[in-house]
Amino acid sequence: MPINPSDSAIYGTLYGSDAMRAVFDDHAGLRRMLDVEAALARVEARLGLIPADAGVAITDAAARVTLDDAALAASVRTVGYPVVGLVAALAREAGDAGRWTHWGATTQDILDTALALQLRDALALLRGEIAAVARGLAELADRHRGTVMPGRTHLQHALPITFGLKCAVWLMPLLAHLRRLEELRPRVELVQFGGAAGTLASLGADGIAVMEALAGELALHAPPAPWHVARDGVAEAVGVCGLICGSLAKIATDVVLLAQTEVAEAAEPHAAGRGGSSTMPQKRNPISSEYIIAASRAVQALVPLMQGAMAGDQERATGPWQAEALALPQAFVLTHGAAVAARGLAEGLVVDVARMRRNLDATHGLIVAEAVMMGLAPQLGRAEAHHVVRRASDIALAEGIPLAVALQRDQKVTEKLDAAAIARLTDPTNYLGSAEAFIDRVLRAARTDLGAA
């Protein structure tokens, strides 16, 4: 049984995705290392540093070699890394050409470049899923641009908003995350090739040529210098995962609150048994939102571990770098799992428009007290208008009457506003400000960013 539920055959569907687990699976990582070794042999053969037939033989061997998990595990226990055992197996498979395997490289070159390839795949998966969430939210924002609901501050009615605006606000940071993920790529999708201490001395004057050719062969970027002990890129990648999860958790938190029985304005898409209780047949718990929130807290807890791992000592770290493996794969698996769950919300959220209207009317006009105050302010002054409307609001709350009725009892109000003006000011649909314009601005940005995604 796995210790981490994100790797569990039972709990894994809640704490991640199979697609992202496949990127960081043991065998996927080993295959990426073999890809690096094969690419290295090809470029060195092309540059005349090893025989041409060796490049072919090593590439062929990398494609067919069978790796012995037990032997690799034994090598890792002894050496601390799988590369020694992997290179030995590859060299054996390559026959006479095996002596040219791993030419000029060191263990960390293979591990870090393989990680860059994994991160390229992981970032592509994340971009695809976040884009899908964003498209779902854009559709919701447009569809509900006129759906008026209570806006809440401190969990209390504040002013009327539209559900479309709420969705647009959920959407906006996801568009920024799509840009972040794209901007991150040149800082993460980097070949690492520095040899034993970052000088490539074993390759003489050909080191940089090999590094650049290896980057080209693997469709990675070539850094100005080896980056093994400059871990800002991989730390940034996990930091972006933390930001993404924070934005997804905001959506999930709002959905949980909107789904409360007493609110009931929105709910997760329902399927038979989804979110059920073993004792309460009526329950439809917001399971997806709950696990988005849980994943977010876990990923954000991993960000400091990655940032702490940046303090590698000298040219090869004695512990900080080794800690990355405890955080990076888990952060990506949890983030992608949260994004998959958020996509389900964005594409299938159940919105109760009628309930939103009933809740909007629950305070009998108090939610637009500010509108009345601003309507009276030009005649009474803002401070006096605030005092007058506050007094009417207190009466409405104490007696359980509509705000409009309480206002009509106040001579200071009726001297300035007739019944029609009071009715107009206390209609929540007349006090939406720039809500629709804000939606349009976000949707314009979405069309640009999603078109590039």
Active site residues per annotation:
277, 316
Alpha-carbon torsion 131, 349, 146, 408, what sign? negative
DSSP 3-state of 57: helix
**What DSSP string describes 350-395?**
EE-HHHHHHHHGGGTTGGGHHHHHHHHHHHH-HHHHHHHHHHHHHH
**Residue 340, CB-side half-sphere exposure with 13 Å CA sphere:** 18
Three-point CA angle 172, 175, 176, nearest 5° = 95
> What's the CA gap between 375 and 427, in Å, rounded?
13
- What type of residue is 90? L
In this structure, are strands 156-162 and 266-267 parallel, antiparallel, or unpaired? unpaired
Rounded to a whole number, what is the distance in angstroms from the first to the last CA of the chain? 38
Where does 206-315 have alpha helices with state H? 207-217, 232-258, 287-308
Residue (of 134, 112, 238) closest to 181 by Cα position? 238
Show Cβ contacts of residue 278 under 8 Å, excluding neighbours closer than 6 positions.
none
